[in-house]
Structure formats: C-alpha cells, structure tokens
A = this chain, B = another copy of it.
Amino acid sequence: YMYLVKKSKGVLVRAWEMGTSDPRKIIFSAKMGLALTLISLLVFFKLPGSEVSNHYLWAILTIIVIFEFSIGGTFSKGCHVGLGTLSAGALALGTAEISDMTGKCADVFNTASIFVVAFLGTYAKLYPTMKPYEYGFRVFLLTYCYVIVSGYRSGEFMETAVSRLLMIALGASIGLIVNICIYPIWAGDDLHNLITNNFVNVATSLEGCVNGYLNSAHYDLISVVDTGYRSAVESKSQEDTLMGFAAWEPPHGPYRSFRYPWKMYVKVGGALRHCAFMVMALHGCILSQIQAPEEKREAFRNELQKVGLEGAKVLRLIGQKLKKMERLNPIEDILEEIHQAAEQLQSKIDKKSYLLVNVENWEIGNDGIEVSNIDEEGLISRKLDYESHKEAALLPRQTWWPPFLLSISSIMWKSESADLSLATFASLLIEFAARLENLVNAYDELCDIANFKEAFSG
C-alpha cells in the first residue's frame, strides 16, 4: 500500500514538472478535452434522433485522429485524412455503380473489390516515401470498406457516404477551430527554438570538451559535454518532422512571409550538426584508450583553450542572433578571432612538434640497423606505459556509450601514438574551426532569404 502511495506521488510530481516546464502541454490537453466535450454536447442535445447524427462516431473519430500538438501537424494530418476519405468515398461509389450493373454477381464483385483495393492500398503504403501518409492510407481503407459493406447492407450507397461525410466535416471543423483559435501551438516556433538551443548546447559542449581534455581529472564535466553535442547530433529526424509540419502553417508571429524558408533553418541546423560531429570526435579523444601525457597537453594549453573559447563564442553569438532573428554585423568579421586562434595553434604545433614525436627512434642517420634492438627495449617501457593507461581507464566515467565500450584493449599502445593523440585533438579542433565558416555562410543565406532585420538598424 505504501508502495502505491509512493508510486502515485512520483507520477504526480513528474506530471507537475512536465506542466511547469512546458505549459503548452496543459493547454493542448485542455483543448482536446474541449473539442470532445463540444462534439458530445452537439450529439446530446442538438441533433437527437436525426438520421445523420447516428453516425456521430465518425465525428469523434475524426477529431481524435486529426488533433495534433502543432497547427502544422493538424493541417497536414487533416489534409491526408480528408483526401483519404474523399477518394475512398468516390471510389466506393464508383464501384457500387459498376456492381449494380453486374446484377446477380454484385456480391462477388463487391467482395473482390475490397480485396483488390486493400491489396493495392497496403502495397502503396509500404513504399518508403509513403511513410508520412500512413494515417491517410488507413483512413482510406477504413472508409472504403465501410461504405461498401454498409451500402450493401442497406442498399443505399449514396446516403451512407454522404451522411458520414457530413459528420466527418463536422468533426474536422470543430477540431480545427478549437485547435487553431485557442492558443495555437506552432511547429515553426518549435523548430526555431530547437535550433537556437542546439547552438548553445554545442558551444557548452565544446568548452567542456577542451577543458575536460586539458584537466584530465575532471570527469564529472563529461556528462555536460555529452548531452550538449548529442542533442544536436540526434535532432536530425526531429528537425525534418518539424519542417514538414511548419511548411503547412500560415504566416504567423515573427514569420511573416508567405512561403517562409523553413528549409534554410534545417540547412543551418545541418551545418551546425556538421560542427557537432567534430565535437563528438573531440569527445572521442577524451574517452580514447590512448592518451597523451599531461605535461605535453600543458604545453599547448593556452592555444587549445583559445580556439575552444573563440569557437564557443562564435556559436553563442550566432545562436543569439538567430534567436532575435537579426543579421550578423556585416562590418565585423565574426570569424576573425577564431581564425587567429587557429593560426596561433598551428604555429605552436609547427614550433613544438618535437613534443608530438619521438626523435630518438628516427631512422635517419642510424640506417635502420639497430631497429630490432630499439624495438625490444621499447617494448618494456611500453608495457609500463600500458599499465599506467590501464589505471587511467579505470577512473569512473559517465558516458552515453554502453559501459563495455570503455574496457581496455589488449593491444600494447606505444607511447608515440599516445603523443600523436594530442596532435589528433589539435587537428580536429582546427577542422572544427574550418567548418564554422560553412555555418556562417549558411546563416547568412538564411538571413537573406528570410529577410532578417539588420543588427543595428535603429
């Protein structure tokens, strides 16, 4: 009994948290309740006993099917369902006409037509690009079967089809009016916020990555790093869905032009994801089984940190501008400082690259005669190296990779490739800086097409 109390308390707390973090969910639920109450009031009082209202089930069904969270979703689903119903109705009436002409074979003809239509409809639904129209196909099949079967039973195809259609129209209009007129929830807003937040997330993640790499002890940072780029990397399908819905929405709020370029938003999101992949690779370096010794990382600390900071600054700035829907300042080059930082990192690597390699083992000069000797000597020190790596790997780490992925490899890692891992980290960071340029270009393009306002227009 105590368990039940505890459990239901937990459910209430979570429900409360969801409501306070996104009040739109409460409003949407209330709208759904309102729409269903309205339709049942109509059935209770307004149309008692009339022939048409016998089919009120269709009105309830329609509301439940088309009521989606966002306006775009409601429109697109409503359109699919409407198309499915109308085409199925027309097809069924056509079939009924033909079956009338066949006389005695009408039964057989109707049954066969159901098989053929169900086969073709299902087969078409399985085609990969038809995935978004799944609901439409289901409604199509339902309507077709129902009209044929009920028309056959009553002998009145036309009446069946028309009265259903009226109820469906009633349900659809109540659903649309309630959903659109009362506090509309726009998929476009969601898309805008999703991409804006991803900028901040990737920036936080990048800073966390660079700091985490330099202060290799602070593993608690990693979870921040992780959730940051992860949201950007994994949001592709969400962005695509929202774009599909947003394209259905009429101009509203700050998105005033008629065919608003949501596609460009997704393109900016793609460019951001391209950067986020680099942050993921940087994070991979932190989790890697091969690690450069701390003193060598220390030598590049300032330069690495500078690139990380400047990169995060650029991301945050673009994110803010996108939030306010402003253009970038055309006079100032937003990328100037990160380019400088990247160049400093490069010249540092240039000058200190002896830290990244093992000069003693070079073949130049000793003609490769002593190679076998060196190798054997090397093996011992490497075994020690391996032991120390092993300890490092046993530190607790929180990641979204399954934990078994952090077990230690039995390859004996050589210290040279450990040093090279620092080079890898640096060169991934430079590649990140290079990719920022594409992001800025994509953002400029979005500004042009979506007609964002100038940064300092007033």
A30 surroundings in chain B (CB, below 8 A): 119
Q: Which one of A339, A342, A404 has the greatest number of beta carbons of chain B within 10 Å? A: A404
A145 touches B411 (CB 8 A): no
A119 touches B33 (CB 8 A): yes
In the complex, A371 has a CB within 8 A of chain B? yes
A41-49, A193-201, A212-220, A313-321 - the one binding chain B: A41-49
A251-259, A273-281, A324-332 - the one binding chain B: A273-281
CA distance A224 to B357 in the complex (A): 34
In the complex, A304 has a CB within 8 A of chain B? no
A286 surroundings in chain B (CB, below 8 A): none
CA distance A15 to B65 in the complex (A): 29
In the complex, A381 has a CB within 8 A of chain B? no
CA distance A423 to B44 in the complex (A): 76
In the complex, A451 has a CB within 8 A of chain B? no
A373 surroundings in chain B (CB, below 8 A): none
CA distance A431 to B420 in the complex (A): 12
A402 surroundings in chain B (CB, below 8 A): 267, 270-271
Name the interface residues of A374-427: CB closer than 8 Å to any CB of B.
375, 378, 401-402, 404-405, 407, 409-414, 416-417, 420-421, 423-424, 426-427
A118 surroundings in chain B (CB, below 8 A): 29, 32-33, 35-37
Name the interface residues of A309-354: CB closer than 8 Å to any CB of B.
335, 339, 342-343, 346-347, 349-354
Report which of B60, B110, B342, B431 forms a contact with A284, defined as CB distance below 8 A.
B431
In the complex, A362 has a CB within 8 A of chain B? yes
CA distance A145 to B39 in the complex (A): 10
B69 touches A126 (CB 8 A): yes
A335 surroundings in chain B (CB, below 8 A): 410
In the complex, A75 has a CB within 8 A of chain B? no
In the complex, A430 has a CB within 8 A of chain B? yes
Name the interface residues of A239-258: CB closer than 8 Å to any CB of B.
none
Report which of B339, B346, B364, B424 forms a contact with A416, defined as CB distance below 8 A.
B346
> Could you write out 30 A-B pairs with CB less than 8 Å apart?
A29-B119, A32-B118, A33-B116, A33-B119, A34-B115, A35-B118, A44-B110, A44-B152, A57-B150, A60-B146, A61-B142, A64-B142, A64-B145, A284-B431, A288-B431, A289-B431, A350-B416, A351-B361, A352-B363, A353-B356, A353-B357, A353-B416, A356-B357, A404-B438, A407-B438, A407-B441, A411-B434, A420-B423, A420-B426, A423-B424
Known: A25-B123, A40-B114, A267-B402. 15 other contacts (CB 8 A): A36-B141, A44-B110, A44-B153, A56-B149, A56-B150, A60-B142, A61-B142, A64-B138, A64-B142, A270-B402, A277-B280, A288-B434, A290-B431, A349-B417, A405-B438
In the complex, A100 has a CB within 8 A of chain B? no
A404 surroundings in chain B (CB, below 8 A): 267, 271, 438, 441-442, 445
Q: Could you tell me the distance in whole angstroms from the C-beta of A180 to the nearest C-beta in chain B? A: 17
CA distance A269 to B389 in the complex (A): 27
CA distance A396 to B351 in the complex (A): 35
In the complex, A102 has a CB within 8 A of chain B? no
Name the interface residues of A271-310: CB closer than 8 Å to any CB of B.
271, 274, 277-278, 280-281, 284, 288-290
A412 surroundings in chain B (CB, below 8 A): 343
A110 surroundings in chain B (CB, below 8 A): 40, 44
Q: Is the interface of A mostly helix, strand, loop or mixed?
A: helix
A residues sitting closer than 8 Å to B (CB atoms) are 14-15, 18-19, 25-26, 28-30, 32-37, 39-41, 43-44, 48, 56-57, 60-61, 64-65, 69, 107, 110-111, 114-120, 122-124, 126-127, 138, 141-142, 145-146, 148-150, 152-153, 237, 267, 270-271, 274, 277-278, 280-281, 284, 288-290, 335, 339, 342-343, 346-347, 349-354, 356-359, 361-364, 368, 371, 375, 378, 401-402, 404-405, 407, 409-414, 416-417, 420-421, 423-424, 426-428, 430-431, 433-435, 437-438, 441-442, 445
